[in-house]
Structure 1
Amino acid sequence: MLVAFSVAPSGTGRADGSVHDAVAAAVRVVRESGLPHRTTSMFTEIEGEWDEVFDVVRRATDAVLPFGSRVSLVLKADMRPGWTGELDGKVERLERALEEGDTVAE
């Protein structure tokens, strides 16, 4: 399973609204999990079995709690039983399709 999630505090009291310290705490949990992952400017993607992925998401969310008066969690999951390596596999298939050129259904 692939999960893309974003977790951030609100009510931080910071004048600039920055949440990078809180996000760093969450990403640290993901990196320490040992699961395949990728962090971009908006989301962190993580791959693994249901229980292990959601345990990491829960712990990452818990790591953000001390940074504000509330926490927001956005999550999207792709469950495809029997498939692994999809963190990169999906992107590789997309890149191949782009290299092969556009095909228009007639």
Structure 2
Amino acid sequence: MAVVEVSVVPIGTSTPGLSAYVADCLKVLQQAEGIKYELTSMGTIIEGELDRVLDVVRQMHEVPFAGGVSRVVTTVKIDDRRDKAHTMAGKVSAVKSKL
């Protein structure tokens, strides 16, 4: 199971606000099967099988282009642990248990 952070940023929009683009990208996640996600103030955390998550990230990357944007910068950070199962909640819990 992979935990992935993604941020999709359209460049050259007519307004500095990006929340409408973020909402459109989240619609992809709402329809995706086999993944969990959490919206944060600086990106979105996605949990699932790596191939599935990367497929969804690609779909999210395409959303601003479909909306008429000519340039998109997408940042992806992958935590793919294979020695034991891990989740978004488990990662947070591990840190909190040490406080």
TM bucket, shorter chain: 0.7 to 0.9
What corresponds to 1:102 in structure 2?
none
Identity of aligned residues (%): 34
What value does the CA root-mean-square deviation take over the aligned residues?
Answer: 1.4
Bigger Cα Rg: 1
Cα distance in 2 for partners of 1:74, 1:89 equals: 23
Measure how far apart 1:63 and its partner are: 1.2
Measure how far apart 1:31 and its partner are: 2.2
Q: Which runs of 5+ in 1 are unaligned?
A: 99-106
Scaled by the length of structure 2, the TM-score of the pair is 0.88
- The answer as to 2:98 corresponding to 1:97 is yes
Q: Deviations over 1:48-70 (max 9, x none)?
A: 11210001100111112225221
Q: Which runs of 5+ in 2 are unaligned?
A: none
Between Structure 1 and Structure 2, the one with more helix by share is 1
Contact 1:38 / 1:44 at 8 angstroms: preserved in 2? Answer: yes
What corresponds to 1:6 in structure 2?
7
Q: How many residues align?
A: 96
Measure how far apart 1:83 and its partner are: 3.6
Q: Which amino acid aligns with 1:27?
A: L
Cα distance in 2 for partners of 1:64, 1:84 equals: 33
Measure how far apart 1:84 and its partner are: 3.5
Q: Which amino acid aligns with 2:30?
A: R
What SS does the aligned partner of 1:81 have? Answer: coil
